[in-house]
């Protein structure tokens, strides 16, 4: 055996001990897209729920200003939901 053959065999043994080569996955990008979609649906759902609640209050009370109360509640819910979704990422930095 020549030195180059021994060197190649040694490199192969080292590679086997290290394990299989790591493959780059796009899981990080997909996780980011999932976070963006879930954040969007959370904010949209909270605002829609607040709007519907405000309209319900306006119809029951006969005062159209109660719809603004619903928007305020929806906005508050949206901010709280966004905070809970982003909290793990805020703690990392």
Band of residue 53 on the pLDDT scale cut at 50, 70, 90: very high
11 within domain boundaries: no
6 within domain boundaries: no
SS3 assignment, position 23: coil
Evaluate whether 69 touches 54 at the Cβ level (below 8 Å).
yes
| Structural tokens at position 39 | 């954040």
14 within domain boundaries: no
Band of residue 93 on the pLDDT scale cut at 50, 70, 90: low
12 within domain boundaries: no
Task: Report the number of distinct structural domains present in the chain.
Answer: 1
- pLDDT value, residue 22: 64
Sign of CA dihedral 79, 81, 83, 85: negative
CA distances from 63 to 19, 29, 48, 60, 87 (A): 70, 47, 19, 8, 38
Q: What gap in Å lies between CA 69 and CA 51, rounded to an integer?
A: 9
70 within domain boundaries: yes
Q: With 60 as the cut, is the pLDDT of residue 24 above it?
A: no
Task: Show the domain range for 79.
Answer: 29-92
């Amino acid at each position: 055996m020549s030195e180059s053959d021994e060197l190649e065999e040694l490199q192969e043994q080292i590679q086997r001990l290290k394990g299989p080569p790591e493959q780059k996955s796009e899981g990080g990008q997909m996780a980011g897209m999932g976070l963006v979609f879930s954040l969007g649906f959370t904010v949209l759902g909270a605002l829609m729920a607040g709007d519907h609640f405000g309209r319900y209050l306006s119809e029951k009370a006969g005062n159209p200003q109660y719809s603004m109360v619903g928007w305020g509640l929806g906005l508050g819910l949206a901010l709280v939901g966004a905070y809970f979704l982003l909290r793990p990422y805020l703690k990392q930095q």
